[in-house]
Structure formats: structure tokens, C-alpha cells
Amino acid sequence: MLKAFYHLLSRDLRLAFRSRHELANPLIFFVLVVTLFPLAVSPSAETLEVMAPGVIWVSALLSVLLSLDRLFKQDYEDGSLDQLMLSPNPLVILVLAKVCAHWLLTGLPLVLIAPLLGMFMYVPDEAIGVLMLSLLLGTPVLSLVGAIGVSLTVAVNRGGVLLSLIILPLYIPVLIFGANAVDVASDGMSVRGQMLFLAAVLALALSLAPLATAVALRITASR
Amino acid sequence: MLDSDPTKITMLETRQLECVRDDRLLFSDLSLTLSAGEILQIEGANGSGKTSLLRILCGLRLADEGEVLWQGESVSDVREDYYENMIYIGHLPCIKGDLTTLENIRSLLDTRSQSAPIEEIDVALAKVGLAGFDDVAAKALSSGQRRRILLAFLLLARAKLWIMDEPLTALDVQGVALVESMLMEHREAGGSAIFTTHHGMKLPCEMSSVTLGNGTGGLEC
């Protein structure tokens, strides 16, 4: 079972590194959107500092949302998804491997580039760590919950709007607590509550989302 | 599981299968039995439900009525055992263009928790006419060659039951002969197969067939 997880994870990572332009897309999107705000609104430190947590979190969320398509689309189109479902291994484990690969390729780069964008947006030094930690706890949830939506819409042509409608309401709690944590940390207050909430949501998503995704994939395949 | 007379063992059995698609009855009351060493061809016009039937047989699609039994037990109860012994080749290639031939075969085998030594893979590749293509990216291969990767995978996976949807798609004359000889060897080894095809497949052995009636839900054997 662990072997199946590892093999699928390494296959997806290998495939991603063979088409690098796709790999860079979410990261470039994230950086571009954040850098456009000072140009469009105001480059003054006071304005940017107020906007920073929201802008960075919204950009990260949209960047993950745009990359979700990649999660199952290719496997669905070339028939590999059928083979995964016909594997003697539990589908939940395989789903988890695919989501892990997705997070490593989209969420993790966002977490790593976030300090740079934070400084760029005048986020105080003491809040940079919180920004990274909130993204580290939040982006896996975005990938896990997004997988449920993708597995339901992968068979729909141009299912992008439908996907957003299904997924965005579920993303909102993560967005509120993530952005709020950075905001509160900028004012020098404790963010324990927000972090514990994000961690709890991550634990919940990690245990339930793969199950829901596996069921949704079976429904998609049965049509 | 094999005893002295392998042809007596029932591999796959269906009971009163019914399939409805978009409010249209494709087939109903479809009961068939497949023994070890038996080869079954599903016939029928376009849209008569051949692919739906195969997807029901391998458990990807749920039948509207009836059940599928693997060695006497409901497929949903023995899913793991069934999937270890069954292999399904759909009409989609399931080949990744960015991976090489060898990586494609390895990842297909990994999905089934199987592995094969490189010598064995080389033998299988030579048999399907892909010797020397092992480190060529699959996107550089023709669609017929990609189908041949699947055939090599089929040889290496050693499943007892092959379920194949249009296995002759994109294959040339030699490819068709190759599939025929693979089916014969598989049969001699006590394996069984179910397939659909619109090309003429001539097997020098007994072959059962089921014809799905178009829209009528009728069934002729």
C-alpha cells in the first residue's frame, strides 16, 4: 500500500518535471497578481501593509484553484484513471498520493515564495513566519478539498465555472482564518487560535477529503 | 485454483444484468458464464452497449440490475482478488506521452502492485515488436506502437482474465496477428478473455459470442 502511494507520487512528480512550463504556471500567476496590486492601488507602505494579508491569501487561493484542473484531467482523458480505479490497492491511498503530488508542485512553491512577496508588500518581519505557517497549513486543505470538486467535474466539458462554484464556499473558512492570522500577527498579537483552527481543518480534510474524492471518482467513472 | 480440468472452473458469471443509459434500455436479463480457457466476443452495432457491458464487468460502472460474480462471489465483495486477476484494456491508450516506453510499462505494473525484471520486460517488448524502443518517449511513437506498449503490459501482468475493448484499434496486420496469437497462448495457459471488435478476428479455436441487440434489449447467443 505504501509502495503504491510512493510509486504514484513519484510518477506524478516525474511527469510534472517533464513539462516544466506547466509546473511554473501557478507560481508565476501568484507572483504576478500580488505585484500588480501596488501598481493599481498605491505603492505607499500604509496601504500595502493593510492589504497584504488579504491580497497574498486571495492570490494563493486563486492560483491553487487554477491549477486544480491538472489533478485528474490528464489521467481521465488518457484512460489512466480507469487503471487506477482497477488497482487492487485502495483508491483512497492513490487519491492521497495524487493530492500530495499536487500540493508539492503548487502549494509548497507558494509557501516558499511567500516571504519574498510579504516583504514586497510591507508585511512586518514578525508576521512573515505566520504568513508562511498559515499557507503551510492552508494550502494542503485547498488541494485536498479541491480534489473533491475536480473529481466531480472532470468529465464535464469546460467545468471550470462549476468547479469554482462547488469549491469556493469550502475555501472561504481557510481564507478568512489564514488572512486574519497574518493581519493579527502584524499587530503583534497571538495567532494561536487561528493556527489551531487551520490545523484542525487540515486534519479534517486529510482524513475525509480523500474518501469523498474516491467516491466521487467512482461516480464519475460509472457514467 | 486450477485443478485437473481447468475448463470446468467458472471465472466470471453475470446474473440478469440490465443497463440503462439516458433512459434507453441497452440490454436486460443478460446472463453469461465464462469458464477458464474460454474466449468470448461481445458483438453488436455501435451504441448497442458493448463498452457499457465491459465497464460493468470490470466494476467501473454499476449495473442497473443484476450482479457480476468472480469465481462464485460478488465482485464488490472480492474486489481486491478480482482486480489482481483481471486486466481491463479500454479504448483509451492510458499511455503518458512524457514517459518512455519502459517507464510507462513500469507505472502500469506499479498500479497493479506488480513488478517485472528488466530482462522480462525486454522479452515482452521484443515480442510486441518494440525492441529497442524502451527509452523512447511515448509521444514520439505512433498510435499503433502505443497500443503495443499495452500489449506488452498485458503479457507482463499475467492476469487470468483479460477484458479488452476494441484491442485491434490502430494495429496493423502483424499487430492483429500478434493479438490473435497472444489470445491463443493465454487460452492454452488456462486464461480467459472477453473482447469487442469490429475487425474480423480469426481464432483457430472455439469462441463463444454474445450479440447485444441495438436498443431492443434483446439478446442472441
User: What is the structure's pLDDT at B4?
Assistant: 46
User: What is the structure's pLDDT at B5?
Assistant: 53
**3-state class (DSSP) for residue A132:** helix
- A59 has pLDDT over 60: yes
- Tally of structural domains, chain A: 1
Mean pLDDT over A83-92 rounds to 92
Phi and psi angles of residue B98, each rounded to the nearest 5 degrees, phi first: -80, -10
User: What is the structure's pLDDT at B202?
Assistant: 75
What residues 162-181 of chain B have any CB closer than 8 A to a CB of chain A?
none
Contact A79 B92 (CB under 8 A): yes
Residue A91, chain B, CB below 8 Å: the answer is no
Mean pLDDT over B70-95 rounds to 90
Mean pLDDT over A96-100 rounds to 96
Residue A14, chain B, CB below 8 Å: the answer is yes
Please tell me which residue, A74 or B219, carries the higher pLDDT value.
A74
**Chosen from A82, A94, A223 to mutate, greatest number of chain B CBs within 10 A:** A82
Largest separation between any pair of C-alpha atoms in chain A? 58
Mean pLDDT over A138-164 rounds to 92
pTM of the model: 0.90
Mean pLDDT over A81-99 rounds to 93
Contact A80 B96 (CB under 8 A): yes
ipTM of this predicted structure: 0.86
- Convert the pLDDT of each residue in B23-69 to its tens digit: 888 888 888 889 888 899 998 888 888 889 999 999 898 888 899 99
SS in 3 state form for A165-212? HHHHHHHHHHHHHHHHHHHHHHCCCCCHHHHHHHHHHHHHHHHHHHHH
User: What is the structure's pLDDT at B205?
Assistant: 76
- B220 has pLDDT over 70: no
Query: CA of A148 to nearest chain B CA: how many angstroms apart?
Result: 18
User: Are B14 and B57 within 8 A, CB to CB?
Assistant: yes
- Convert the pLDDT of each residue in B107-123 to its tens digit: 999 998 888 899 999 99
Query: CA of A93 to nearest chain B CA: how many angstroms apart?
Result: 11
Look up the domain containing A155 and give its range: 2-221
Domains and CATH numbers, chain B: 9-220 (3.40.50.300)
- What's CA B125's distance to the chain center, in Å? 19
Minimal CA–CA distance to A197: which of A178, A184, A170, A210?
A178
Minimal CA–CA distance to B162: which of B129, B196, B199?
B196
B-chain residues near A89 (CB < 8 A): 111, 113
Mean pLDDT over A62-86 rounds to 91
Strands in B65-70's sheet, in edge-to-edge order, are: B24-35, B10-21, B65-70, B73-74
B-chain residues near A3 (CB < 8 A): 110, 113
Nearest to A87 among B62, B96, B111 (CB): B111
Report how far residue A221's alpha carbon sits from residue B90's, in angstroms, rounded to the nearest whole number.
12
- Convert the pLDDT of each residue in B169-211 to its tens digit: 888 889 999 999 999 999 998 899 999 988 777 777 778 888 8
Read off the C-alpha cell for A47: 496601504
Collect all residues with Cβ–Cβ distance below 8 Å to A14 and sequence separation of at least 6. Answer: B99, B103
Residue B6 DSSP class: G
Residue A207, chain B, CB below 8 Å: the answer is no
User: What is the structure's pLDDT at B219?
Assistant: 47
For all residues of chain B together, what is the average pLDDT?
Answer: 86
Within a 13 Å sphere around the CA of B165, how many CA atoms are in the beta-carbon half? 20
